[in-house]
Structure 1
């Protein structure tokens, strides 16, 4: 797996407790398994441990051309259960059995057809904070060039913001802080906090920076606090930040991602016409328990 194409500087001094103590700018080493069912108990444990400590794990099953059944086998091995299908995707051609096909397509109704880059976001556009805990993406074919995955340790960045500027941080936690709007079904949107805590008290997020996401302060007079919050998170997500890593998934590699901890994005890509870029994606309301 290639190293991030970025230069790292001296680490910033963290002022808040580490939310994901294993997260570093260096990408995680892939865990190489013999099949997508992960028959090796030690490997299932390593995947779950990487997920908990780093916020993600990378799994590699060499020599395979993954299919939807392989994503289900991986999910079962990790105790994730069946994939969650967002209501807006039910009955669509791009998502079947809870598995979405992420590829460039001529169909204008296909929400994943673009070869352009994707800004940082959490999956489950219309779902509430923390509902989609885990995203699994398996690479069937990478792009000819580009298509690098970018991960941002959003919960750590927010913990730092809370410690340094609690007034600004508060603008991201109220019930109208972030409005996310569907790009697939006109007129559908969901408002909620961008950051909050789960029942166990751990920070979770739905922080996203796509074209249809909008942020709203608690009152008009608090806009400057919201501006500070968004600027601080943008700084924390910069290419040279220790809260960011990047890598390119190869064919037969899967990303198991804490979708409510880390935000992800993607650089633009070009296709090989003989084997267009294709990822299979499943969303889950649970976390790996292996």
Structure 2
């Protein structure tokens, strides 16, 4: 069977998925307020998101609140935030907004200061259900805490061109099993990659301790291992599919959660002002 061409040697993309995605971070869109009163700023956010899979909004001097997250979502026509069932009733998710901050509370789902591997938010939901994640930085870390992005749909499209037998192991109904660490006996199986109604590739690619991958049949495990090796290589620093940056206080990341996987480097906190992000999940894409 043919081996996939790796991300480090493959530069031509026969089927570009997100032509605006590059290893260099997108230029932040600076606005005067979170409700994006300038139509040109709203249009720039949406265009940047659609071309590259994400956009960064910057409000100079802002100390964002939950109301600001709602204002930004409303400005982008994202409608109401979605709360995954496992977070409903959690003290750390109020009004569908999750507070991402390290804590010593073992019941807090976001307490860890360690790095996070690439993942898609809401992987217990069906493929494509959570189209957009918005993460708004209230306070940055003392050190570390960089945001990592992986152009998963492009890496998969290139894998399909180079090694379709391997790619097929990521599109069947039992390819990825995600198991909840918060709710006993809660798990979801489904494809890693599939098409949305418009025919675009979408993704729920995740590499966490709660994810397990399965071939279509025992004899196809070697194909699956080639597929996973291709994606793992594509998600390394220096790859054209990889981007890293620091989300600063007063900035918000508007992310195509079903097209890019995201992660985070480890961080240390200022004890008097610990790192804090506000997160909302949305089933729609932004429009201007």
Give 1:79's match in structure 2, choosing from 77, 80, 89. Answer: 77
Deviation at 1:186, TM superposition (A): 2.2
**Quick check: 2:136–2:279 contact (8 Å CA) kept in 1?**
yes
2-structure distance, mates of 1:119, 1:282: 20
2-structure distance, mates of 1:10, 1:262: 18
* Number of residues of Structure 1 aligned to a counterpart in Structure 2: 282
Q: Deviations over 1:111-155 (max 9, x none)?
A: 100000000000003111000000000000000000000000000
TM-score w.r.t. length of structure 2: 0.96
- The residue correspondences of 1:154-193 to structure 2 (distance < 5 A) are 154-193=152-191
User: 1:217 aligns to what?
Assistant: 215
**Quick check: 1:141–1:276 contact (8 Å CA) kept in 2?**
yes
- The residue correspondences of 1:93-172 to structure 2 (distance < 5 A) are 93-172=91-170
User: 2:194 aligns to what?
Assistant: 196
Give 2:272's match in structure 1, choosing from 268, 271, 274. Answer: 274
User: 2:3 aligns to what?
Assistant: none
- Return 166-175 or 103-112, whichever deviates more: 103-112
**Quick check: 1:137–1:280 contact (8 Å CA) kept in 2?**
yes
Deviation at 1:11, TM superposition (A): 7.4
Q: Confirm whether residue 232 of structure 1 aligns to residue 253 of structure 2.
A: no
**Quick check: 1:11–1:242 contact (8 Å CA) kept in 2?**
no
**Quick check: 1:140–1:279 contact (8 Å CA) kept in 2?**
yes
Residue segments in structure 2 that go unaligned for 5+ positions in a row? 1-6
**Quick check: 2:57–2:253 contact (8 Å CA) kept in 1?**
yes
SS state at 1:240 partner: coil
Q: Confirm whether residue 14 of structure 1 aligns to residue 12 of structure 2.
A: yes
Q: Deviations over 1:151-197 (max 9, x none)?
A: 00000000000000000000000000000111221221100000000
**Quick check: 1:102–1:281 contact (8 Å CA) kept in 2?**
yes
Deviation at 1:12, TM superposition (A): 3.4
2-structure distance, mates of 1:87, 1:25: 34
Moved over 3 A (4+): 9-12
RMSD in angstroms over aligned alpha carbons? 1.2
**Quick check: 2:146–2:265 contact (8 Å CA) kept in 1?**
yes
